[in-house]
Chains A and B, each alone.
Chain A
Amino acid sequence: MSKAAQLAALIGSGQAQGDKNLIINGAMAVSQKGTSAVAVPNGGTSTVDRMKFYESTGGAYTSEQSSDVPAGQGFSKSIKLACTTADSSIGAAEIATMSQIIEGQNLQRLNYGTSDAKTITLSFWVKSNKTGIYTIAIYKHAGGGTAYGCPVEYTISSANTWEKKTITVTPTAGSTTLITSSAGAIIDSNGAGIEVHWGLAWGSNFNSTNNTWSASGFYSTSNQVNWLDSTSNNFYITGIQLEIGDVATPFEHESYAKTLQKCLRYFFRATSGGDGQFATFGSGVAYASTSYLGEYTTPVPMRAQPSIASNVTSNVSQGQVVLGGVAKAFSSPVVTGNGHVMRVNMTMSGATQGQGAYIQIMYASSTDANIDLSAEL
């Protein structure tokens, strides 16, 4: 085999193209927030990293990391969604969808907003007991221009069977010029650039024309099934890849460590680490008798200054400010800084000003103690 042929084969295998996949955690490998089924929030994340959910119907559904995967494709994880409360009639303004939001600065290669805008192809493996027409949507945030959306229908043909779907979206889909005009540009920042949606149910307010860019509706078509019509319904998906071009190349498998590094830019859970384990969250000083002031450096620079939460505030048996061997419960954790090297404020009581201190979290009562940092889009 010639060198050129070897290179062509390597490129074709998907092994020689770093970061061709614009989706992070498309193999559903990283699930920092837990693996078991939990109800999805409306406009928030849960379980598998980078996946964001919307649920505003009269129904409800859960997400969990699953080991049910398509055979022979090299995947070990999928995300499973399960309807837990049915809604047989979706209101016009109601939605149920899973999405991933991609940073604008990672999308400049698409050349949106110019006549050189690129065609993109979305591929994924999907399985559901409920067959019929579903929609994905590419929603381009307004940024400095205008918000546009392009829904594209796909069909789940066989119940309870893994099927690979490939969807190509051109910048002129529907013979439009919205994306190739200047208002089609994607903001070049750490803000939201594009949302990719996998629709489960969409109210009529969100419908527009299949495979056509538009400035309203954005997300779906009137043909989308109502996946929430039965508590028997489930939906599995994995192997998501979004790439430039009009063909779906082989999925870009990457190490768990590499995927985790990407996910940590958006969310980091400092956790006690299981039965009998302890962990720390930086060190500092008793700034006052009721105030801890310390430092913390995140594993990777986060997308933005993160929000912080803990499941062990005001719980001295699992979350402590330790001062000279004495443990105080903490509350109201606050972080400020650049999203990497940060100052930590916490509230406590009864400390001696000037004492050295550190934050400790511990497993107890069959529960891990967590401190979460979120810079999600």
Chain B
Amino acid sequence: MMESYKEISSAKYYSFEGTNIAIIVTYSNGETWSAPMSIDNTDYAEIMRQVAAGTLTIADAD
């Protein structure tokens, strides 16, 4: 069931000591989650799928 997933409003890298370690993702229902940069994590996998599809851009960390 690859085409149905919570709609992502925005995504932004989280950096620690100059290295990106997670992505802060906000969904259209208002929820905000931090997804680790691990392909086994389904939130991260979906973010990367949408990035690859050209439908999502991840903002740089603060």
Residues of chain A touching chain B, judged by Cβ–Cβ distance below 8 Å, are 41-44, 54, 56, 95, 99, 139, 190-191, 195, 291, 303-309, 313, 332-336, 345, 374-377
Please tell me which one of the listed residues A42, A191, A304, A374 contacts residue B4 in the complex, with CB atoms under 8 A apart.
Answer: A42
Given contacts A191-B40, A334-B36, A335-B34, 9 further A-B contacts (CB under 8 A): A99-B1, A190-B40, A305-B40, A309-B33, A332-B14, A335-B36, A336-B36, A345-B21, A374-B33
**In the complex, which of the residues B4, B7, B21, B32 has the most CB atoms of chain A within 10 Å of its own CB atom?**
B4
Q: Contact: B6 with A43, CB < 8 Å?
A: yes
Residues of chain B touching chain A, judged by Cβ–Cβ distance below 8 Å, are 1, 4-7, 14, 16, 21-22, 24, 29, 31-36, 38, 40-44
Chain A hits for B35, CB < 8 A: 307
Q: Contact: B21 with A304, CB < 8 Å?
A: no
**A307 touching B40 in the complex, CB below 8 Å, given contacts A43-B6, A345-B16:** no
Q: Contact: A43 with B21, CB < 8 Å?
A: no
14 contacts between A and B (CB under 8 A): A139-B1, A190-B40, A303-B40, A304-B40, A304-B42, A305-B36, A305-B40, A307-B35, A307-B43, A308-B33, A308-B34, A332-B34, A334-B24, A374-B33
Expressed in whole angstroms, the Cα–Cα distance for A375 and B35 within the complex equals 10
Chain B hits for A375, CB < 8 A: 41
Shortest C-beta distance, B6 to chain A (Å), equals: 5
Which residue on chain A has the smallest CB distance to residue B39?
A304
Expressed in whole angstroms, the Cα–Cα distance for A97 and B27 within the complex equals 20
Q: Contact: A333 with B34, CB < 8 Å?
A: yes
Which residue on chain A has the smallest CB distance to residue B46?
A43
Expressed in whole angstroms, the Cα–Cα distance for A54 and B44 within the complex equals 19
Please tell me which one of the listed residues B4, B22, B29, B33 contacts residue A336 in the complex, with CB atoms under 8 A apart.
Answer: B22
Q: Contact: B4 with A43, CB < 8 Å?
A: yes
Q: Contact: A56 with B38, CB < 8 Å?
A: no
Which residue on chain B has the smallest CB distance to residue A293?
B16
Expressed in whole angstroms, the Cα–Cα distance for A306 and B34 within the complex equals 9
Please tell me which one of the listed residues B4, B16, B24 contacts residue A56 in the complex, with CB atoms under 8 A apart.
Answer: B4
Please tell me which one of the listed residues B6, B22, B41 contacts residue A334 in the complex, with CB atoms under 8 A apart.
Answer: B22
Expressed in whole angstroms, the Cα–Cα distance for A377 and B36 within the complex equals 14
Expressed in whole angstroms, the Cα–Cα distance for A336 and B35 within the complex equals 9
Shortest C-beta distance, A358 to chain B (Å), equals: 19
Which residue on chain B has the smallest CB distance to residue A308?
B34
Chain A hits for B33, CB < 8 A: 307-309, 374
Which residue on chain A has the smallest CB distance to residue B24?
A332
Q: Contact: B14 with A54, CB < 8 Å?
A: no
Chain A hits for B22, CB < 8 A: 334, 336, 345
**In the complex, which of the residues A190, A305, A307, A308 has the most CB atoms of chain B within 10 Å of its own CB atom?**
A307
Chain B hits for A139, CB < 8 A: 1
Please tell me which one of the listed residues A42, A43, A307 contacts residue B34 in the complex, with CB atoms under 8 A apart.
Answer: A307
Which residue on chain B has the smallest CB distance to residue A206?
B1
Q: Contact: A42 with B6, CB < 8 Å?
A: yes
Q: Contact: A42 with B21, CB < 8 Å?
A: no
Chain A hits for B34, CB < 8 A: 307-309, 332-335
Q: Contact: B32 with A313, CB < 8 Å?
A: yes
Expressed in whole angstroms, the Cα–Cα distance for A43 and B28 within the complex equals 12
Shortest C-beta distance, A180 to chain B (Å), equals: 24
**A195 touching B21 in the complex, CB below 8 Å, given contacts A305-B40, A307-B35, A335-B36:** no
Q: Contact: A307 with B5, CB < 8 Å?
A: no
Chain B hits for A195, CB < 8 A: 1
Shortest C-beta distance, B36 to chain A (Å), equals: 4
Expressed in whole angstroms, the Cα–Cα distance for A357 and B16 within the complex equals 18
Chain A hits for B31, CB < 8 A: 309
